[in-house]
Chain A
Amino acid sequence: MGDAQADPVRERLERYVGKPMGPASVAPDPVNVPMIRHWVDALDDRNPVYLDEALAATTRFGGLVAPPAMLQVWGMPRPKIEGIAERGGAPNEMRFENPISALDEAGYVGTLATNSELEFLRYLRPGEQLELSNEVESISSRKTTSLGQGYFVTWVTTFRTTEGEVVGRQLFRILKFDPSTIDLTKLQVPR
């Protein structure tokens, strides 16, 4: 279905693999109780180790810790609300060379997240400041999926404290697809 055909786009994508995706960044805020409380209330997560200082002190954590699934939250960039819809929801213009913009330009404008793999080396405590770096792990050959032809782009975000200790990672995979190439005879979930 075209997967094995000559693919000039794929060749252009090769130079991104194994390379940083954009500059490293510092989380806008340190790990902090107000954002934890907002999260705990939004998700109605009543695990006491996140907000009950006295109880948390009796657990193996020895004090308050952040919800592990907030790892990605700490790194979310400050959004520019104006124009966010026109940017397809991207919080900011991506001003650096990256495979996602390259695929957009090549007509693969659709985006579908397919995998998230969060790894927690340890729990975080209020006051810790994180730094993030992203690296493109792989870009697939052109695949034919139920959403049309596209490429799976996988990158890994590494979260470090400002002292350089790696505290977590997130692997993220998206399908960038060209909606105009949908084959309506194929209706299975893309793989």
Chain B
Amino acid sequence: MTTNAPKSISISVGDELPPFALDVTSTVIVAGAIASRDFMPAHHDPVFAKAQGAPDVFMNILTTNGYVARYVTDWAGPEAMLKSIRIRLGAPAVPGKVLHFSARVVDKREGGGECLLELAVRAANELGDHATGTVTLSLPVG
């Protein structure tokens, strides 16, 4: 990660991040829910989730934000500092449906001694867009 992280000078508007496919399983969903201290039954109890009209247990929002952050910093490296994660929520992330992450650099500017990047991010599965939105981050200049 450290050696592969891009220097801000080499990043251009329009650049695409390498795609990432998350094999969503019940374990992924439950591990994220409990690590985020979210004990809502819809995130670990399939009977409860189905009674609510969901196809199965589904990923909680804290975990979705966590994977979006991870996806971006896996690319941007340990010097990246996230400024915001703004997402619109759509199709649920459920076991057995791979979640495909993609992102594109839509803005780049310098300010306050930092290089500020804005990324358009999407996480989608075969049900549709799970999360779409923007992530802003900064990298050291240069």
Which A positions have Cβ atoms within 8 angstroms of B?
Answer: 35, 38-39, 41-49, 55-56, 59-61, 67-70, 72-73, 76, 79, 81, 84-85, 89-91, 113-120, 123, 189
Contacts and interface: CB of A to CB of B under 8 A. Distances in A.
Contacts, number: 121
B37 A119 contact: no
Contact of A89 (B36, B40, B82, B87): B40
Nearest to A115: B88
B66 to A, nearest CB: 4
Given A69-B66, A72-B65, 17 more contacts: A38-B35, A42-B32, A42-B34, A42-B63, A43-B35, A49-B78, A56-B78, A67-B66, A76-B37, A79-B39, A89-B39, A89-B41, A114-B89, A115-B88, A116-B85, A119-B83, A123-B81
Interface of B: 1-2, 31-32, 34-42, 45, 48, 61-70, 73-74, 78-79, 81-90, 128, 140
Contact of B84 (A48, A114, A117): A117
Contact of B40 (A45, A61, A73, A84): A84
Given A42-B34, A84-B40, A68 B88 contact: no
A45 B90 CA distance: 24
